[in-house]
Amino acid sequence: MVDLDDLRRQLAELTTEAVDPEFGELDLMTTPELVAAMIDSNRQVTDALVAASTDLARAVDVAAERMQRGGRLVYVGAGTPGRLGILDASEIPPTFGEPPERVVGIIAGGETAIRSAVENAEDDVAAGRADIARAGVGPDDCVVGLTASGRTPYVLGAIAEARERGAATIGVSCNPRSELTAAADVGVEVIVGPELVAGSTRLKAGSAQKIVLNTISTLAMVRIGKTFGNRMVDVRATNEKLRARGVRMVMGIADVDPAMARRALADTGWEVKPAILMCMRGLTADAAARALVDAGGRLREALDRTREAE
């Protein structure tokens, strides 16, 4: 049983739980004043991210290194952070062509907790450990623990289990010198300060964590060769908009007309990278696919190698 007096004292030390006196009459403000206050409050997120940028760069490199060796990026959190992890993970397959199991989100309380609060789920250390074990986390994986407070028991349990299994661990929190930072290989502390509505960490803290997740997953993908310049050349063309984007990418990178781009994409099953190789190096679809395998999936390297072979 948790000692509530002890927990109250712990929470009193957290900046994310502090009450900002500037907004002591929030409920008396006009709507334009409330909107201005919300916007002004969120400006602090950028400053906090800049302050954490060195640790964030370390986190990107750790995640990319594990993914380069074939491992997974695993997000784990409770409540809002858990939902943010699931959101970020769900965007990786269509954006970078990775299978859904490559970046995954785990939330305290399971599937139900994605839409509804699950009572006491965040307080269960054993459940955090069990969920990491159930996911089969191992030495090639990178586990990112997400908690605004930096003390959520479920997340701390998950990180402890992940480290014991040899996985790389990253802790993302919004309080200084947090338990999560001490528990993880890399700690990213984005200190956003008190929330506009005291303790509502879905606000600034949530925004900060979403940006951190965008940064880790996107830049890890860049590091492992999932882009060409700033083009998402591994995009899955699963709808008309994405097919049109694929055509535009092949046209822009290979400097060909729309008809040639569409023909190459049709021959590759709407895979952009081999279509670009076909257009720029005169390869067949099969030869382009082999060139990409030989280059570890990196389009720039495949283009360089096939130029040398000409």
Out of 13, 17, 33, 91, pick the active-site residue.
91
Q: Which residues share a beta bridge with 188? A: 172
- Give the other-Cβ count within 10 Å of 13's Cβ: 12
Helix (H, G, I), strand (E, B) or coil at 94: helix
Q: Are 146 and 209 in contact (CB under 8 A)?
A: yes
The amino acid that residue 153 corresponds to is P
Task: Indicate if 13 belongs to the active site.
Answer: no
Q: What strands lie across the sheet with 142-146, from one edge to the other?
A: 103-107, 73-77, 142-146, 168-173, 186-189
Task: Indicate if 122 belongs to the active site.
Answer: yes
Q: Are 85 and 77 in contact (CB under 8 A)?
A: yes
The amino acid that residue 305 corresponds to is R
3-state secondary structure 126-149: HHHHHHHHHCCCCCCCEEEEECCC
Antiparallel, parallel or unpaired: β 168-173 and 186-189: parallel
Tell me the Ramachandran region of residue 118: left when phi exceeds 0, alpha when psi lies from -120 to 50, beta otherwise.
beta
Q: Are 268 and 285 in contact (CB under 8 A)?
A: yes
Out of 17, 98, 122, 271, pick the active-site residue.
122
Positions annotated as catalytic residues are 91, 122
